[in-house]
Amino acid sequence: MATTKRRLLLRLISVCASLVYLTVAVTAVAAAHELPRDGTVIELDEGNFDSAIASFDHVLVDFYAPWCGHCKRLSPELDTAAPLLAQLSEPIVIAKVNADKYRKLASKYEIDGFPTMKLFMHGVPVDYTGPRKAELLVRFLKKFVSPDVSLLETDSVIQNFVEMVGTDFPVFIGFGLNESVILDGARKYKKKAWFSVAKDYSEEMMVAYDFDKVPALVSLHPKYKEQSVFYGPFEGDFLEDFIRQNLLPPTVPIRFETLKLMNDDKRKIVLAIMEDELDEKSLKLVKILRSAATANRDLIFGYVGIKQWGEFVDAFDITKSSKLPKLLVWDGNEEYHTVIDLEDLDDNDQGTQISRFLEGYRGGRTIKRKLSSPSPFDFISSLTSIRTVYLIVFVVAVVMVILLLSTRSADTPQVTQDGAEVTEASISQDKSSSSYRPGDKED
């Protein structure tokens, strides 16, 4: 009898659990149906966030604060982009969250600056670091719903493809290659580059992309007008090494956006510091650096001008008396190395000087130094920290309260035991008439 009752109880519990699960599922489905799919920007909160992310394959979420000026300027751009993205064959939904109000969501997704955008792909978030103007934003996001490898049938299709993808990602085009050869790399690095294979092309394309035989894989960096060619071998780690090393151009101008890219790369950075990147001598040096970079793919070659970013250069102890251009090898963090007797470059045969510098670095003839200020990567990450903003607001509020209380205390007259008011004048007079005695306590 007891056993029968126990079985009935277990069945009842099982049925109740199934009903609860069904209710939750129905609720989630109902919530999903309530979310608009007409290309409007969806306002999310802690109640509908998870169901929205589960309902759509691709969701760009803007974590904003109502008081943030940058957020206010971004909002109309998202309103313009939303209907265009909704019309794609694989739609991308734009949503936004008041992260200042719904702080649990902000904490969960480590939001520490406004606005912060994250692209959720099948529920997995990645940071959005692309442009914020509507037209460029749409072009940028098309990358994430494009084929792993695009097939380009003619010269005109190749040209249209390069124009269509824009300048935010590097572009890899295979000539005389089967798409299956680069498919694994394309899937692995899809979030960081465009991949394509040209099925038919003319000699004009060979001249335009500077390759003289096939198979060849060409990497393009339209933003920096840089390109490289890889002739194989196309097996093992050789192909992936080429792709990974060409996610950055051969020579990289040091900027906020390029520092973020280099932060993801573990290679050391050969850094050329010059007075002005745009003068004739500096442009010539950049060309020489590009040749050196092609032969030394295990290093990143970067350059920066004092005129372009003096604050960055200051961290490497560059003064007005420093001889420029100057070469060093930076680890991307707090340390850098100079090569003994080969720090500075003169105008004579800079190619040979750079080769000797690299030989000296690889041979260990270096001096290790520390940055004179925190790592630029740490500086960038702290620029828009919400925690810093909150701390400043709190400190200011405390100071204002103290000043307010002090003012009220000063305005309130003091009363002695006999009922007489003590004014500032009388206090001053008492102080002037009294003198310090050795036994008194000094305040």
Helix/strand/coil for 382: helix
Q: To the nearest whole number, what is the mean pLDDT of the chain?
A: 82
Active site residue 16: no
pLDDT at 28: 44
Amino acid at 280: E
pLDDT at 177: 94
Please state, as a whole number, how many other Cβ atoms lie within 10 Å of the Cβ of residue 175: 21
Of 50-59, 135-144, 433-442, the range with the highest mean pLDDT is 50-59
Helix/strand/coil for 437: coil
Whether 343 and 313 have beta carbons less than 8 Å apart is answered as no
Secondary element (H or E) of residue 357: helix 350-362
Catalytic residue among 59, 60, 71, 315: 71
Domains and CATH numbers, the chain: 42-141 (3.40.30.10), 147-245 (3.40.30.10), 251-373 (3.40.30.10)
Catalytic residue among 65, 68, 259, 269: 68
Per-residue pLDDT tens over the stretch 370-404: 998 765 655 454 444 444 444 455 555 655 656 66
How far is residue 368 CA from its own chain's centroid?
29
Confidence of residue 167 (pLDDT cuts 50, 70, 90): confident
Confidence of residue 193 (pLDDT cuts 50, 70, 90): very high
For 39, phi and psi rounded to 5 degrees?
90, 10
Q: What mean pLDDT comes out for the span 67-85? A: 94
For 322, phi and psi rounded to 5 degrees?
-65, 140
Whether 226 and 250 have beta carbons less than 8 Å apart is answered as yes
pLDDT at 41: 93
Lowest-confidence segment of 78-87, 345-354, 406-415 by average pLDDT: 406-415
> Which pairing describes strands 366-370 and 335-339: parallel, antiparallel, or unpaired?
antiparallel
Per-residue pLDDT tens over the stretch 212-267: 999 999 999 988 888 899 999 998 889 999 999 899 888 999 988 788 778 878 89
For 253, phi and psi rounded to 5 degrees?
-70, 135
Per-residue pLDDT tens over the stretch 288-328: 999 999 889 899 999 999 999 999 999 998 888 889 999 99
Lowest-confidence segment of 13-27, 79-93, 99-113 by average pLDDT: 13-27
